[in-house]
Amino acid sequence: MEYPFWDIPLVGGGMLIGIIAILHVFVSHFAIGAGLFLVLTERKARREGDTALLDYLKRHSTFFILVVLVFGAVSGVGIWWAIGLVHPTATSALIHIFVWAWAIEWVFFVIELLAAFIYYYGWNRLDARTHETIGWIYFAGAWLSLFMINGILTFMLSTGKWPETRSIVDAFFNPTMLPSLVVRTAVTIALAGLYALITASAEADESLREKVVKYASKWVLVGMTIIPIGGIWYISRIPDQAREISMGGAPVVTLFAAASIIFSAFVFLATLLGPFLFPRRFHVTFAFVIVALGLITTGVTEWVREAVRKPYIIYNYMYSNAIRAEDTQKVWEQGVLGSAKWALLTEEDKRNPLAMGEKVFRFSCQSCHTVNGFNGIKFAVKGWEKDFLDMQIQKLDQLKGYMPPFLGNEEERKALVEWLYSLNNPPQQTAARP
Amino acid sequence: MPVVVPPPDPAGLPAPAWLLQILLVFTFILHVLAMNLLLGGSVVLALSTWRAKHSEFCAKLSQRLSRALPVAMSLTITLGIAPLLFVQVLYGQAFYTASVLMAWFWLSVILLVLLAYYGLYLVQFRPEWLGAKAGVVAWISALFILAVGLLFTHNATLSISPAKWAEMYAASASGLHLNWSEPTLIPRYLHFVVAAFAVTGLGLMLLATGYRKTDAEWSAEATRYGLRWFVGATVLQFAVGLWFLVKLPQGVMMNFLGMNMVDTVVLWAGVVLAVLALLVAQRSAIGATVLVALTITLMAVTRHRVRQMFLGEHLNVNTLPVNPQWAMFVIFAVLLVIGLAVVGWMVWQFFKASQPQQSTTA
């Protein structure tokens, strides 16, 4: 409302963020777990005097920097880019509340990146002890940057006491911060194993392949065992309404939540029955199947986490359409267009309910709905008469718990009804304009 | 059309505006140094890779440079995060608005950087199948990086032109605007690109010193080559900089021509230091680098002043509400010092072990 709204037809902004974010999550969690995987495996290889394993690790670390330093880092900035474009008001809020938390995360990120380069270029240059120390520094930097970002991310769903106290400590150490940290740390361990299955299965030496495949599969199994334990703790700490949405309140979300559990189970079973029990028969295609299952699990889980936050973008503080909960009364009185300067409402618009209704849609609804595409409103209101539309809009938050109350005044509501009705019942060409 | 500026964030600034401005300008300088090496370096890499077959000097240059550029890319991105954070804190009202207006182009920065980055790694690892196509890949990376720079100039100039926003948004909300109508756009962009070539020239001279003992002949030639880039770009910069200056709105330009003594001294002291750098470059690459770093510092301050003058009272950071979080700031500052020490230790360990070890499995 305070910022111009970027109109993305068909896809909508949420989907755009989702695509970038899911890919980033899948790589960035690997980035962290791989740090632990590399340094622990390096120690194991040196203790056992296993030169072949050490050579594998060097190859694995090339794969690691190409995935992590390039895609991981750039896609992470990409999320920031995308949320700033799609949700500038919410991004601004997160930036202002957490400036120093972001700045601290940046310090850890700098350490992480430089350590990654020095670890990689240092394989044949540094002595064993220094090299392992650099590996530990990398892992510490990476995990601490997760620690920081996790506090900010969980705040969006569980603001806890912050709306009353406005204290950064309450915001960061919010109710889901710790359980989410446990889940995400477990994900990093599972993903470290999952990615290692790819590089291990591509190894030519059969005995080495078997050894590393078996070893990597244990990482996946350990991670995948901790995830549900942390997950139950996490679900017990999210706001009641969010839990209800995921457990029947909104059928699509419930379906995705179920899919998240089912696909997690697939990853576990595929790893157990494949690389863990029969490492000798494991091959690259199988590795990619498990990775694909892992990506789907990540995708649906992150999608559910985003979906249950509705009707808010920052819980109990800002609705999905960037209007602050505390401004609700003001918006009801002044209207959304009276508050949204970027609507650039003209005198002509005010005389034309269809033009006005479209602008109301843009600033009150379009952050979640497109017209014709994803979550398309035209399809959703098909067959609805004007009276029914008006009643639905008036009781939006009561009929659909995952939607905010309609944020606009009476004149705007009527204009919105006219515009929504016109989507499926185009006005006659001959009808004279008032 | 009215001038529409979003309201400031109600959370307020987490520290006084002066402190955030210092952090913004300081971290921007670090980002620009890395960016200069990346942008200029990627063009030199493209040129040398392209000519690698015909010249042994170029072949070696291409190989040696290609190892440094992914690191320069990573540093550019990483060091860019901090100024991007502080610019959103101080100037979010302008930054988000301009970004939304050019949303698709702004988002394309991510894709261009990603592809350019992979291109640089491809040139570094140069797998057999790549063959002579390495030159093409290097050029694509360089062009993408140059394009990203231009998009940043669009964003930076649009961010400080609030009078244009409402009209643009009324015309289309699809995020397909650019700021081509801005008179300073091209000179401002070239001002940055030419500076990047000059800094890269110095970077090449410093790279050459690393091979003084192992490959003296190449080292000497690389020093001359780097010097040519530095001198050529810096001389050209006097013309480009002047062009940029005269394209500024009268009211802004005059501040740098005596109307505001501090602004005038800062800008022209930067110019004088660049002249001095030209004079000492032949004798001491390090001396010239120090002088150029000072020039960049003064120019970054000047750039910040231009932003303040363009925005005027539409967005005056000194009038924003302040809600300081001092405890958090202290934690950040302490961790920053520890972080720099850790980074310093790691880099020292790396260069201390200058001779690659035969085996790490001992």
- DSSP string of A70-115? IIIHHHHHHHHHHHHHH-HHHHHHHHHHTHHHHHHHHHHHHHHHHH
CB A106 to CB B356 under 8 A?
Answer: no
pLDDT tens-digit map of B297-350: 999 999 999 999 999 999 999 999 999 999 999 999 999 999 999 999 999 999
C-beta atoms of A342 and B101 within 8 A: no
Is the Cβ pair B92, A122 closer than 8 Å? no
| pLDDT confidence tier of residue A433, bands split at 50, 70 and 90 | low
Chain A residues closer than 8 Å to B99 by CB:
84-85, 88
Q: Between chain A and chain B, how many beta carbons pairs sit less than 8 Å apart? A: 200
**Contact across the interface for A118 and B329, Cβ inside 8 Å:** no
Domain with CATH 1.10.760 in chain A: 326-424
Q: How far apart are CA B336 and CA A125, in angstroms?
A: 28
Cβ of B346 within 8 Å of Cβ of A137? The answer is yes
To the nearest whole angstrom, how far is the Cα of B218 from the nearest Cα of chain A?
A: 24
Structure tokens at B283: 């004798």
Q: What is the mean pLDDT of chain A?
A: 94
Q: Residue A348: which residues within 8 A CB-CB, separation 6 or more?
A: A355
Q: Check whether B171 has a pLDDT greater than 60.
A: yes
Q: Which residues in B lie closer than 8 A to residue A16 (C-beta atoms)?
A: 107
Banded model confidence at residue B358, pLDDT cuts 50, 70, 90: very low
The CA-atom distances, in angstroms, between B133 and each of A66, A92, A201, B42, B119 are 20, 44, 30, 16, 11
Average pLDDT over residues B76-85: 97
- Of B11, B15, B349, Cβ closest to residue A93: B11
Residue A111 pLDDT:
97
Amino acid A401: pLDDT: 80
Tens digits of residue pLDDT in A319-343? 999 999 999 999 999 999 988 889 9
CB within 8 Å of B271: residues ≥ 6 apart:
B238, B241, B295
Inform me whether the pLDDT recorded for A23 exceeds 50.
yes
Q: Note whether A77 contacts B77, CB cutoff 8 Å.
A: yes
What local confidence, expressed as pLDDT, does residue B347 receive? Answer: 96
Is B357 within 8 Å of A4 when comparing Cβ atoms? no
Question: What pLDDT score does B113 carry?
Answer: 98
CA-based nearest residue in chain A for residue B20: A99
Give the per-residue pLDDT at B360.
42
Count how many Cα atoms sit within 13 Å of the Cα of residue A213 in the half-sphere of its side chain.
28
ipTM of the complex: 0.94
Chain B contacts of A134, Cβ < 8 Å? 346, 349
pLDDT of residue B356: 55
Query: Nearest CA of chain A to the CA of B221: how many Å?
Result: 27
Which residues, in sequence order, are bridge partners of residue B13? B322
Our count of domains for chain B comes to 1
Nearest CB to A117; choose among B13, B74, B84: B74
Q: Is residue A407 scored above 60 in pLDDT?
A: yes
Contact yes or no for A73 and B6 at CB 8 A: no
Tens digit of each residue's pLDDT (9 = 90 or more) over A69-100: 999 999 999 999 999 999 999 999 999 999 99
Is B353 a domain residue? no
Which of B346, B352, B354 has the most A C-beta neighbours within 10 Å, making it the best mutation to test the interface with A?
B346
Q: Which residue has the tokens 């960037």?
A: A322
Write the pLDDT tens digit of every residue in B207-220. 999 999 999 999 99
pLDDT for residue B120 is more than 80: yes
Let me know the angle formed at the C-alpha of B160 by B159 and B162, rounded to the nearest 5 degrees: 85
Q: What is the pLDDT of residues A367-405, one digit of tens each?
A: 999 999 989 999 999 999 999 999 999 999 988 888 999
- When pLDDT is averaged across residues A1-14 and rounded to a whole number, the result is 91
Among A88, A75, A97, which Cα is nearest to A26's?
A: A75
- Between CA B21 and CA A295, with CA B84 as vertex, the angle to 5 degrees is 155
In angstroms, the CA A263 to CA A256 distance is 10
- Ramachandran class of B55: left when φ > 0, alpha when ψ lies in -120 to 50, beta otherwise: beta
- Contact B9/A3, CB-based, under 8 Å? no
Q: How confident is the model at residue B359 (pLDDT cuts 50, 70, 90)?
A: very low
Which CATH number covers residue B55? 1.20.1630
Flag whether pLDDT at B361 surpasses 80: no
- Closest approach of B360 to chain A, Cα-based (Å): 6
Rounded Cα gap, residues A414 and A433, in angstroms: 17
Three-point CA angle A382, A340, B102, nearest 5°: 85
Closest residue to B343, CB basis, from A9, A70, A111? A111
- Output the CA torsion sign for A83, A88, A94, A95: positive
The pLDDT tens digits of the residues spanning B175-189 come to 999 999 999 999 999
CB contact under 8 Å between A88 and B96, yes or no, is yes
Whether residue B107 is contained in a domain is answered as yes
How does pLDDT run across A31-78, given as a tens digit for each residue? 999 999 999 999 999 999 999 999 999 999 999 999 999 999 999 999
Judged against a pLDDT cut of 90, whether residue A251 lies above it is answered with: no
Chain A interface disruption, residue of B64, B73, B81, most A CBs within 10 A = B81
Residues of A in contact with B329 (CB under 8 A): 100
Distance in Å, alpha carbon of A368 to nearest chain B alpha carbon: 16
Fold of A13-319: Formate dehydrogenase/DMSO reductase fold (1.20.1630)
- With 90 as the cut, is the pLDDT of residue B128 above it? no
State the average pLDDT over residues A397-424. 93
CATH code linked to domain A326-424? 1.10.760
Cβ <8 Å between A2 and B7? yes
Q: Which of A44, A95, A361 to mutate to test the interface with B (most CBs of B within 10 A)?
A: A95
Helical spans, DSSP H, in A308-385: 328-334, 336-339, 347-351, 353-364, 377-380
Under an 8 A CB cutoff, do A126 and B100 touch?
no
Burial class (CB in 10 A: 0-12, 13-18, 19+), B355: exposed
User: Are B175 and A6 in contact (CB < 8 Å)?
Assistant: yes
Please give the pLDDT value at position A427: 83
Q: What are phi and psi of A368, to 5 degrees?
A: -115, -30
Query: Is the CB of residue A155 less than 8 Å from the CB of residue A172?
Result: yes
Bond before A311 cis per omega within 30 degrees: yes
**Looking at the partner chain, which of B89, B103, B332 has a beta carbon nearest the beta carbon of A95?**
B89
Helices (H) and strands (E) in chain B, counts: 11, 0
In a domain, B330, yes or no: no
DSSP readout, B54-113?
Answer: T-HHHHHHHHHHHHHHHHHHHHHHHHHHHHHHHHHHHHHHHHHHHHHHTHHHHHHHHHHH
What's the pLDDT score for residue B362?
A: 35
Locate tokens 């013309």: which residue? B239
Average pLDDT of A137-158? 97
CB distance A127–B353 less than 8 Å?
yes
Distances (CA, A) of B127 to A222, B130, B131: 37, 6, 7
From the list B10, B88, B107, which residue is nearest A82 (CB)? B107
Distance of CA A351 to the CA centre of its chain: 42
Most A CBs within 10 Å, among B100, B122, B124, to test the A interface: B100
| pLDDT computed for residue A52 by the predictor | 96
Q: What pLDDT, on the 0 to 100 scale, is given for residue A431? A: 52
* Cα A61 from Cα B100, distance rounded (Å): 38
* A-chain residues near B141 (CB < 8 A): none
Band (pLDDT 50/70/90 cuts) for residue A316 is very high
- Of B279, B274, B256, B275, the closest CA to residue B266 belongs to B256
Residue A399 burial (C-beta neighbours within 10 Å; 0-12, 13-18, 19+): exposed
Q: Which residues of B touch A79 (CB under 8 A)?
A: none
B122 alpha carbon, distance to own chain's centre: 23
Gap from B265 CA to chain A (nearest CA, Å): 32
Q: Which residue is associated with the tokens 């591509």?
A: A202
Contact residues, chain A, for B362 at CB < 8 Å: 128
Residue ranges making up the domain that contains B305:
17-320
| CATH 1.20.1630 domain residues, chain A | 13-319
The whole-number average pLDDT for the span A337-358 is: 91
In this complex, which of B110, B173, B359 lies closest to A77 when CB atoms are compared? B110
**How far is the alpha carbon of A167 from chain B, nearest alpha carbon, in Å?**
9
Query: In A, which residues are within 8 Å of B13 by CB distance?
Result: 96
